[in-house]
Structure 1
Amino acid sequence: MRILLAEDDPLIADGVTVALKQSGFVVNRVAGGRLACASLQAEPPDILVLDLGLPDMDGMDVLRFAKRHAPQTQVLILTARDSVDAKVHGLDHGADDYLTKPFARDELLARLRVLERRLGNAATATIAVGALRLDTRQQEATLDGAPLALSRREYMVLKALVENVGAIQTREALESRLYGWGEEVASNAIEVHIHHLRRKLPAGFIKTLRGIGYMVPRP
């Protein structure tokens, strides 16, 4: 799940980025409205976490831009504007949720999970494929009831595959789920994660379509 964080306060941005990455989200952050708009147009994220008080552009203008140019992107406003009128104004103009500062980390993560489910990537907190179960709240996986020891990125690759059972996921699509802008990605990074997953999963659980990508077949 890719998140664009538009927040100019470095302390808040640092804290939110760390919390989101620890929870398995891929985070790209910008400190201004114009950069946010450019990012939305070039590579729309799944969720935009938007501060309204950006230095170069009002956040409401960014919200309107997002609704025009990235209509599938869910928008969570994260702001100090805590009046009822401000909340109503933001929601009426297309925001999908509204959280005021200061906020609790767990509440932010819970609201993002709701938006994630709304996108249709996880209809429930549990994803099941055969004997495999993924708990998307706890970021845990079990096979036949036994815990699977997965690294964060192994879990994210597996989640991307089982969320899209029967559909091919290209290497580029998987990389976009795991790495943010500017992160150096080894040419065989996805292949390494797939190799490690196959050692922990039943034979044939993940299929390779040579030159195309990977897929978990329908049971």
Structure 2
Amino acid sequence: MKILLIEDDLDLGNGVRIALTDHGMDIVWARNVEGAVRQLDEQPCDLVLLDLGLPDGDGLHLLTRLRREQGDLPVLILSARDALKDRLQGLDSGADDYLVKPFEVAELVSRIRALARRSYGFDGDTLAVRDLQLHVPTRRVSVQGRAVDLTASEYDLLRLLMMRIDRIVTRRTLEEQVLPGGQSNASNSLDVHMANLRRKIGDGYVRTVRGVGYVIDQQGAA
């Protein structure tokens, strides 16, 4: 799971980054609004951890922008603002959860996993859509209980798509995050990997959005 941590405190941010990395999460860290916007423009993430008191702006303004541009992106606020009115304002502004500082790492991990389950059906170990399952710790993939042998690139493509169920993943994102060296469209490498992946997992899972990218729908075609 790729998480964007937006936190200006050096000690807290580094501690959270290390702790979540130890739990198998991929952490990208920005220390201000400008850096967060740049990261969001350069690479998509699965979840945002958002501090409100940032040096170059209020986190609530960034949250409003996130809801306008990426309405379904899960956001968990991490803030020292502990008054009821602050928590309500954060949730009413579009946050999915609110955790008051200081907090225990174990609680943060549990809340992230709960938010991932609600957003993606991800329980921390297994991604599942219909009869297709991907077990993250072992990298095992199965369809209707039958094991599927995937290459590293095919597995990474599938995992990225399954982390974004019902959300289109662009060709550029897939190429930059999965293929070696961010191979270009001209190489047709993505098309080859995707064709092989579809052949192995079967029809009805990966849908092409022509000119844009690919998506796995929670509900298959009728």
TM-score range, shorter chain: 0.5 to 0.7
Distance change >3 Å, CA 164–CA 58, structure 1 → 2: closer
Shift of residue 158 of structure 1? Answer: 6.6
Aligned pairs for 1:123-134 within 5 A:
127=128
CA 1:19–1:154 in structure 2 vs 1: closer, same or farther (change >3 Å)? farther
Using the TM superposition, give the Cα deviation of residue 86 of structure 1 relative to its aligned residue in structure 2, in angstroms. 0.8
- Of stretches 95-104 and 121-130 in structure 1, the one that deviates more from structure 2 is 121-130
Specify the SS of the correspondent of 2:57. Answer: coil
Q: Which has the higher contact order (CA 8 A, sep 6+)?
A: 1
Give SS of 2:91's match. helix
Query: Does structure 2 retain, via aligned residues, the 8 Å contact 1:60–1:90?
Result: yes
The alignment status of 1:45 with 2:40, answered yes or no, reads: no
- Please show how residues 115-126 of structure 1 align to structure 2 within 5 Å: 115-119=115-119, 121-122=120-121
Per-residue displacement from partner, 1:147-183 (whole Å, max 9, x unpaired)? xxxxxx9987774476689xxx89965676679xxxx
SS at structure 2 position matched to 1:28: strand
Quickly say closer, same or farther: Cα 1:37–1:171, change in 2 above 3 A.
Answer: closer
Query: Normalising by the residue count of structure 2, what TM-score does the alignment of the two structures yield?
Result: 0.62
- Residue number in structure 2 paired with 1:82: 82
CA-CA distance at 1:26 after TM superposition: 2.2
SS in 2 for 1:115: helix
Q: SS state of the match for residue 75, structure 2? A: strand
**Aligned equivalents of 1:176 and 1:87: distance in 2?**
37
CA separation of 1:42 and 1:109: change in aligned 2, threshold 3 A: same
Alpha-carbon contact 2:2-2:47 (below 8 Å) kept? yes
Counterpart mapping for 1:127-166 below 5 A: 127=128, 159-160=159-160
- Cα deviation for residue 108 of structure 1 reads 0.9
Aligned to 1:15: 15
**C-alpha displacement of 1:111:** 1.1
Q: Any gaps of 5 or more consecutive residues in structure 1?
A: 145-152, 192-203, 207-217
Aligned to 1:68: 68
8 Å contact from structure 2 (residues 127, 162) kept in 1: no
- Cα separation, 2, equivalents of 1:11 and 1:48: 19
Which segments of structure 1 move beyond 2 Å, counting only runs of 4 or more?
Answer: 19-26, 37-46, 121-130, 132-136, 138-144, 153-165, 169-179, 184-187
